[in-house]
Amino acid sequence: MRKGYQENFLTNFSLALPQPSLALEGDILQPPGLSHGQKVVPYIHFSLLMSISTKQAIYSAANVDNSAQQTISGGKGRKWFIDERVGRENQITNDAYTGTPWDRGHLTRRTAVTWGSYNTALEASNDSCAYTNASMQHKHFNEDEWRVPELAVAKFKLAKGNKLVVMTGPIFTTCDRYFTKGIGFTPVRIPSAFWKAITYVAINGDLVTSAYIFFQDTDTLKTTKAKQRIQLRHFRVTTTELQLWTGLVFDEQMFDSNPLKFYDGPETIRVSELKDLSTKTKALLAAGVATAQTIKAARHKMKLDSLYELVDELSWY
């Protein structure tokens, strides 16, 4: 049974799915195969929300249990399929990928949801190969830069109970490119970037969120060896940045649990209460409205070495 993403998956915490902003609401697909009003499409261990205009997922959110992982060997659980609940006309199908440099880039990675009993893991593996869970990723990006956060999730060691909530999706901008095969082929919009947010319960019981953005730009498409030298922490962003780039409204806990706190929103810090960002003080949790001047002041009050220590403390790649 496809229960989809579970909000209470993490011990002692309930993490809601992202909600579309007012600007996005009109672009949310009502899947014809789901009950009226049910727009989130459930799969095994993950759920996603579809865009009308791009025919790609706005986000895909997964429950990941690395302590119960199963290995699905050979060619099992790898057959791409059209989800009839969403409708063939509402998703990008194989025509856009066959004979092109564009990969069916998994949003929720296949191996991230292959946990539980073997049969459940096998079904989850198959579910992850729905075209709704794929987005236009250049083969160099899909097999290189994007592999870095995917492998980090697979090798994650800091979560209590080895459980993670992993949310991910494309970022579309006014500068997006379009792919076409010629006359009669409907152009496909190519994401300018992709984001991933990982939330987990640390060993000490605290909730922690790490968020990342990877741009699918000209430089990333030139190389196939970036994953050997880039460091994941250099792509880290605040939850506010994710909200601004995606138009999604994230659970407030994903702001307060993100250690990068230099932007307007629940995660900002009042400079008057700022003491030491490398320790967990009341100043870290203080919410306020920060102007450009206060953000600049906050940055000056923190030594660069202290910032590096803070980022390294919760970086896991």
> What pLDDT does residue 269 have?
42
Q: Of the ranges 1-15, 86-100, 221-235, 236-250, which one carries the lowest mean pLDDT score?
A: 221-235
Q: Angle at CA 159, nearest 5°, toward 104 and 61?
A: 35
Same structural domain, 208 and 160? yes
204 is in an annotated binding site: no
> What pLDDT does residue 141 have?
82
Average pLDDT over residues 23-43: 95
Average pLDDT over residues 123-148: 88
Q: Of the ranges 8-17, 87-96, 134-143, 223-232, which one carries the lowest mean pLDDT score?
A: 223-232
Same structural domain, 140 and 236? yes
Q: Of the ranges 90-99, 150-159, 166-175, 227-236, which one carries the lowest mean pLDDT score?
A: 227-236
C-alpha torsion sign, points 258, 261, 263, 269 = positive
- How many residues in total does the chain contain? 317
E strand or H helix at 195: strand 193-202
Q: Return the structure tokens found at 106.
A: 């998994």
Q: What's the structural domain count of the chain?
A: 2
Position 219 in a domain = yes
Catalytic residue numbers, as ranges: 106
CA distances from 96 to 164, 180, 185 (A): 32, 8, 9
Same structural domain, 280 and 188? no
- The range of the structural domain enclosing residue 126 comes to 19-258
Position 12 in a domain = no
CA–CA separation, 37 vs 7, rounded Å? 19
Position 187 in a domain = yes
Position 6 in a domain = no
Same structural domain, 264 and 234? no
Average pLDDT over residues 13-35: 95
Query: Which of 240, 258, 276 is where one domain is finished?
Result: 258
Position 277 in a domain = yes
Position 215 in a domain = yes
> What pLDDT does residue 317 have?
36
Residue 28, pLDDT above cutoff 90: yes
Position 112 in a domain = yes
> What pLDDT does residue 284 have?
37
Q: Return the structure tokens found at 143.
A: 């097999």
By three-state DSSP, how is residue 239 classified?
helix
- Beta strand 207-215 with 236-237 is antiparallel
CB 103 within 8 A of CB 139: yes
C-alpha torsion sign, points 269, 271, 274, 277 = positive
Of residues 164 and 160, more confidently modeled? 164
